[in-house]
Amino acid sequence: MRLNRAFYDLVGASVLWGTIGIAVQEAYRVGANSFGIVLFRTLFSCLILLYGGNRKILLRWESAVMGIITGAFYEIYAFTIILDGAPLSSFLLYTAPLFVILFSFVLFREELSLRKVMGSVIVIVALYFDYLGTPTPVELMWGILSGMSYAALISFSKFLQLRGFSGWDVLSAQSVWSLPLSLVVILPFSRSVSLGSVAGGLYMAVFGTIIPYYLFYRGIKIMDSAIATVISALEPVVTTLLAYPLLGQILTPLQILSAALILASSIWLSVSR
């Protein structure tokens, strides 16, 4: 029963993350810009979580490290999207399960198995069907760095929960301590404040950060880290499926095959537990 709940938590997080691309595009239509959205996402998340979080636990060194890792991931991935474009950055981000397998073995002695490696490779191949290109060495380097930093965030979040942090504590640490780095990087590019950026940032804070990360951390506390990361790869599947009715984008046969492979891999790994 606990594994079933963890699976549903992880799927719920992936579904909410999958709405981000749609919400951001709608925010752009009313004058938002990417830096403004990230700025207000960070500010709103920090304010909400700081109000309801455990302030004592925020002063622990582990909380600061979580914030640094999160801030590094946000900035690396944002730069990767600009450099590589959305399809390639999404594809390389989900090299993360392979790194999670390594990190979780070192930190938690979680099982190294051919099954988990195969599931991770299936996801990477499936996402490549959406890209179908040849990245340059620089694009590849930054994309892999985004996957590594995402894997570090996932692995360290589980490490914190094993040390007594609740999912809400991890969320508070990641939002509060990533704020300084985010402000340093984002503020110079956020000269214009628009209603679209505020609305987009608020949506991202609640439905792209607080609720899905809470579900994800609750799920990964029970589920194997690598398997949880593979399940989270349902995010681009949800985005693709929502883009058809909401944005009028046509699904290609390769996109349908990609979605089917990721879904099959997630179910296979979960059931085989």
- The answer, yes or no, to whether residue 182 has pLDDT greater than 80, is no
Q: Work out the number of other CB atoms within 10 angstroms of the CB of residue 166.
A: 17
Helix (H) / strand (E) element for 70: namely helix 61-84
The pLDDT value given to residue 251: 67
The pLDDT value given to residue 239: 74
Model pLDDT for residues 197-208, shown as the tens digit of each residue? 888 889 989 998
Q: How far apart are the first and last CA of the chain?
A: 12
When computed from its CA atoms, the radius of gyration of the chain, rounded to whole angstroms, is 18
Model pLDDT for residues 83-113, shown as the tens digit of each residue? 777 667 777 888 888 888 888 888 777 777 7
Q: pTM for the full model? A: 0.83
Q: Work out the number of other CB atoms within 10 angstroms of the CB of residue 164.
A: 10
Residues 244-264 have a mean pLDDT of 72
The pLDDT value given to residue 191: 59
- The answer, yes or no, to whether residue 273 has pLDDT greater than 60, is no
The pLDDT value given to residue 213: 92
The pLDDT value given to residue 207: 93
For the residues of 119-172, what is the DSSP string, one character each?
Answer: HHHHHHHHHHHHH-S---HHHHHHHHHHHHHHHHHHHHHHHHHHTT--HHHHHH
- The answer, yes or no, to whether residue 248 has pLDDT greater than 60, is yes
Return phi, psi of residue 60, to 5°. Answer: -75, 150
Are 7 and 234 spatial neighbours (Cβ–Cβ below 8 Å)? no
- Confidence tier at 152 by pLDDT (50, 70, 90): very high
229, HSE (Cβ side, Cα atoms, 13 Å): 34
Q: Work out the number of other CB atoms within 10 angstroms of the CB of residue 144.
A: 18
- The answer, yes or no, to whether residue 179 has pLDDT greater than 90, is no
Residues 230-244 have a mean pLDDT of 77
Burial 6-39 (b: 16+ CB within 10 A, else e): bbebbbbbbbbbbbbbebbebbeeeebbbbbbbb
